[in-house]
Amino acid sequence: DTGVSQDPRHKITKRGQNVTFRCDPISEHNRLYWYRQTLGQGPEFLTYFQNEAQLEKSRLLSDRFSAERPKGSFSTLEIQRTEQGDSAMYLCASSLKGLSGANVLTFGAGSRLTVL
Amino acid sequence: AQSVSQHNHHVILSEAASLELGCNYSYGGTVNLFWYVQYPGQHLQLLLKYFSGDPLVKGIKGFEAEFIKSKFSFNLRKPSVQWSDTAEYFCAVNAEDTGFQKLVFGTGTRLLVSP
């Protein structure tokens, strides 16, 4: 088990371009989360999946953002028509949701996006 | 609105000093509480967690936290900090009223320990 992997680690793009981030969760985990973190702030929830179903989306996730988890394994987060305000660290986390309700998230190293 | 507050944004301590970082939340009902740590250049790591039982929980590296339900608080403590504790510390909550479905973080406290 190599933990949660994210790719790429850094992405620099020009405003208006599309970018895609990939997350590979811990293999036995059934939940996958995307968070965004900007300087001086804590991680902000964007969306999460249980298996392949996207169960909740934050209002922070505008229509330019889309996330998928097609086979319940890896996930992608795409940002279309990037804006400078999208510059942030995009964090992926996974967890194994137990019957007791306990839900401990394990985070990846993040994908840092810079929009010029 | 439901939120998690960390009132100390920056803390500077000398080695061997005692540490207490405050965390308050505004959720009603049952909560699960967490402290995560982010060392320079590294990813978020779980420091400790509280689900139920003894309100004083112990985590890695000598850290502990106390859940005080009446004060909606989950403060992090360490009796004697080391230079290697320099990091950013995040309090986080997931709550029964959101089905324990997502973790909500505070804004973080940046700790600098001088040798």
Torsion angle (degrees, nearest 10) of CA A21, A24, A30, A35: -40
Q: Is the dihedral of CA A53, A43, B32, B35 positive or negative?
A: positive
Residue A100 has pLDDT above 70, yes or no: no
Residue B45 burial (CB count, 10 A): 13
Of A91, A102, A106, the CB nearest to B32: A102
Counting residues of chain A whose pLDDT is more than 70, the rounded percentage is 95
Tell me the pLDDT band of A1, cut-offs 50, 70 and 90.
low
A40-96 tens-digit pLDDT: 899 999 999 998 898 888 888 889 999 999 888 999 999 999 999 999 999 999 998
The secondary structure element, H or E, covering residue A35 is strand A31-37
Cβ atoms of residues A77 and A88 within 8 Å: no
Given pLDDT bands bounded at 50, 70 and 90, which one contains residue A103? Answer: confident
pLDDT tens digits, one per residue of B50-90 = 999 999 999 999 999 999 999 999 999 999 999 999 999 99
Quick one: which of A15, A22, A36 has its CA closest to A88? A36
Q: Which two tokens stand for residue B15?
A: 């080695």
The mean-pLDDT minimum among A37-41, A69-73, B31-35, B95-99 falls in B95-99
Chain A residues near residue B105 by CB distance under 8 angstroms: 42-44
pLDDT of residue A109: 95
- Kindly determine whether residue A107 and residue B44, on different chains, have CB atoms separated by under 8 Å: yes
pLDDT of residue B34 exceeding 70, the answer is yes
- Selected for mutation to probe chain B from A4, A96, A107, A111 (highest B CB count within 10 Å) is A107
Q: By the CB < 8 Å criterion, does A99 face chain B? A: no
Average pLDDT along chain B: 93
pLDDT at position A63: 92
A42 in B contact zone (CB under 8 Å): yes
Query: Looking at residue A97, what is its pLDDT?
Result: 75
Judged by CB atoms closer than 8 Å, whether chains meet at B103 and A101 is answered as no
Minimal Cα–Cα distance from A80 to chain B, Å? 25
Per-position DSSP letters for chain B, written without gaps between them: ---EE---SEEEEETT--EEE--EE---S-EEEEEEEE-TTS--EEEEEE-SS-SEEE-GGG-EEEEEGGGTEEEEEESS--GGG-EEEEEEEEEGGGTT---EE---EEEEEE-
Q: Does B49 touch chain A (CB under 8 A)?
A: yes
Say what the pLDDT of residue B83 is: 96
Please name the residue that has the structure tokens 């790429």.
Answer: A8
Query: Higher confidence at residue B93 or residue B101?
Result: B93
A2 falls in which pLDDT band (50, 70, 90)?
A: confident
- Window 58-87 of B, Cβ < 8 Å to A: none
Contact A42 B90 (CB under 8 A): yes
Work out the average pLDDT over B31-39: 95
User: SS3 for A86?
Assistant: helix
> How near does any CA of chain A get to the CA of B106, in Å?
6
Question: Residue A84 gets which letter from DSSP?
Answer: G
